[in-house]
A and B are shown apart, each in its own frame.
Chain A
Amino acid sequence: MTASDSSVAAVMAGPAGHRGWRARLTAWRVPLSILTLCLLPWVLPSQALAVNVLIYGLVAVGYNLLFGYTGLLSFGHAAFFGAGAYVTGIAIGKFGLPWYAAVALGVVAGSALAFVIGLLSIRTRGIYFSMVTLALSQLVYYVALQASSLTGGENGLRGFTIARIDLFGWTVDFLDPLKKYYVLMVFAAAALWLVSRILNSPFGAVIEAIRENETRARACGYDVERSKLIAFTLSGLICALAGTFSALHLAIVPLDILHYQTSGMIVMMTLLGGAGSFFGPFVGALAFLLMEDVVSLWTSHWQIVVGSVFILFVLFLPKGIWGTALAWRAGR
């Protein structure tokens, strides 16, 4: 071994400790996330809260793929979340499809919508991108409002209760909240594994490069627009899956699921937890929903409190709860 080889080895080992710790955490992020989520119904005060953390956490994970890793601030992700929910509900309620076919259809429809909205918005930049995605998702909202024979309009979509689910030969009582949680958990686990796989892939390196420096990524030979569109569609796919969860869980689809406030909530959860961190979105969803639960006990204006906390985070802890915790642990 020459002198230069050994110096490379010394450099690669890095400043002792925390890099190895971060690498190990990254390698185990999927099993650790799944384990944590499996424990959630036993730790949280109510199982309903646990289901909501699972659903909104997964939406935020999907959104994080676009916002945290690709660097695109979309204000229209309610559209894909809602599309997944509506298509699943309609497929079951109006067409009598089995639940798994309805879920598949919801995911396909949400991804297709993400592809189309992505195609129309991806060439704009910065605030214009946010505004175009917002406008297009509001368009989807008004379509759902008007097409009331199919969507139930203002009253929301009703009448498609799922009582039992057949999963790999087992029949599960879907009205039992704990069993429902673990059925959804199976799909959430698969989605987390998929997202982790994407982040570890060559494409994962490309979207990070685009987030870091779009101009440089293009000069390196990457088709930035096409890569963004793929990221946008994959992000929509995960959000649509969470939307199908929401439909199965609530057995109604409220029209508000498509409203821009839902998009705003997704952004807030992602930022609260930590954009660009793998488990952050779940932490953000939990923090948001806990705040909503606790604060709404003593005032109906709970949004004021949650909004203030959000502003404080943006100003003082831009890495969010989880991101800050990781940085703090690494910095010790």
Chain B
Amino acid sequence: MSVPLLAVENIGRRFGGFVALEGVTASFEPNKVTAIIGPNGAGKSTFFNVLSGVLAPSSGSIRFKGSDITGTPQHRFAHLGIARSYQITNIFPELSVHENVRVAAQAFRSRYDIWRNRASMTELDEKADAALAAVGLTSRRVATAKFLAHGQQRALEIAIALVADPELLLLDEPTAGMGPEETKDMVALLERLAAGRTILLVEHKMKMILGLSDRILVLHHGRLIADGSPQHIQTDPEVRRVYLGQNHGYA
């Protein structure tokens, strides 16, 4: 078996006396979609924040493409090839849709140049337009981002992550707050993106996860209690007890 794209070993994270994450070990192969599920407070967001460098783990290590990246500052993660979206929409509200994606693309070309004219960097416009086309936002190109509909803002956030051409895409509840119609669009988008990409996503909508993911991890009280294919997870008695059992009709 080849080197996994991402491997976490014995990851733990404490906030004072509270243990949010403990002893999580998992590795992720390229070109697979993995979903992370668990009841509220299970540690999903903490796990995601550790994987994207927002939080340093209190213990354990993270390896990306074979090298140890534990404790790397968050702003380096995008340059390593790890991009993420947030549970609460996280865009540049006053910039145009195009500028939102363009400034994300610029991070890989120029970060401190105070001299050049940024308009001359036309290759960034092409990259931004390609990412917008990929998420179906070309028609909203000049709109101010804050005026987009909720579902379009979520798509824009994915375009911002996508323009980095990441090897690992972390999506924190991409359908949060969406109605059925918008969810359907987002699932279609994710299915398109899944081809040839490694995606980790946190989700609550069980039906969507089962159709989309190759593998599911289940967190409960900060611990990994199950790890396997969707079929395996559906029949796992422990998962049924802690997750489905306490939320009748949730799925």
Report the minimum CB–CB distance from B133 to chain A (whole Å).
Answer: 8
Q: How far is the CB of A70 from chain B (nearest CB, A)?
A: 13
Q: Which listed segment binds A: B31-39, B56-64, B71-79, B192-200?
A: B71-79
CB of A146 within 8 A of chain B?
no
Return chain A residues, CB-CB under 8 Å to B107.
Answer: 220-222
> How far is B78's CA from A329's CA once the two chains are assembled, in angstroms?
40
Decide yes or no: A197 and B141 within 8 Å by CB, A212-B92, A221-B79, A222-B107 being known contacts. Answer: no
Chain B CB count within 10 A is highest, among A218, A221, A223, A224, for A221
What are the interface flags for B159-195 relative to A under an 8 Å C-beta threshold, 1 for contact and 0 otherwise? 0100010000000000000000000000000000000
CB–CB A12/B114 < 8 A: no
**A 225-256 binary contact with B (CB < 8 Å = 1; else 0):** 01100100010000000000000000000000
B111 at interface by CB-CB < 8 Å: yes
Cα-based distance from A289 to B104 in the complex (angstroms): 41
Contact B142 A202 (CB under 8 A): no
Q: Could you tell me if B91 and A216 are in contact, using CB atoms closer than 8 angstroms? A: yes
Q: How far is the CB of A26 from chain B (nearest CB, A)?
A: 11
- Of B117-125, B208-216, B240-248, the segment with at least 4 beta carbons within 8 Å of chain A is B117-125
Q: Mark A8-30, 1 if CB is under 8 A from B, else 0.
A: 10011010000100000000000
Given contacts A11-B142, A216-B90, contact A223 B111 (CB under 8 A): yes
Given A8-B129, A12-B142, are A201 and B108 neighbors across the interface (CB < 8 Å)?
Answer: no
Contact of A200 with B by CB under 8 A: yes
Please name all residues of chain A whose beta carbon is closer than 8 Å to the beta carbon of B112 when the two chains form the complex. Answer: 203, 206, 226-227, 230
Q: Is the CB of A11 within 8 A of B94?
A: no
Chain A residues whose C-beta falls within 8 Å of the C-beta of B70 in the assembled complex: none
Contact between B95 and A212, CB atoms less than 8 A apart: yes
List which A164-219 residues lie within 8 A (CB) of chain B. 197-198, 200-206, 208-209, 212-213, 215-219
Interchain CA distance A326-B116 in the complex, whole Å: 27
Residue A300 at the chain B interface, CB threshold 8 Å: no
Give how many B residues have a beta carbon under 8 Å from the other chain's beta carbons. 43
Cβ contact within 8 Å between A4 and B138: yes
- A149 on interface, CB distance cutoff 8 Å: no
Q: Does B115 contact A (CB under 8 A)?
A: yes
Q: How far, in whole Å, are A209 and B52 apart by their CA atoms in the complex? A: 19
Contact B121 A219 (CB under 8 A): no
Question: Which partner residue on chain B sits nearest A213 by CB separation?
Answer: B92
Q: Across the interface, do B103 and A220 meet the contact criterion of CB distance under 8 Å?
A: yes
Determine whether B40 belongs to the interface, using a CB cutoff of 8 Å to chain A.
no
Does the CB pair B86–A215 fall under 8 Å? yes
B110 close to A (CB within 8 Å): yes
Q: Is B205 at the interface (CB under 8 A from chain A)?
A: no
- A216 — which chain B residues lie within 8 A by C-beta? 86, 90-92, 160
**CB-CB < 8 A to A203: which residues of B?**
110-114
A200 touching B78 by the CB < 8 A rule? Answer: no
Q: Are A202 and B106 in contact (CB under 8 A)?
A: yes
Q: Quick check: is B237 within 8 A (CB to CB) of the other chain?
A: no
Return the 3 tightest CB-CB contacts between A and B, nearest first.
A221-B78, A221-B107, A202-B110
Other 14 A-B pairs with CB < 8 A, given A8-B138, A223-B75: A7-B139, A202-B118, A205-B102, A212-B94, A213-B90, A213-B93, A216-B90, A219-B74, A219-B86, A220-B107, A221-B76, A221-B77, A222-B75, A230-B114
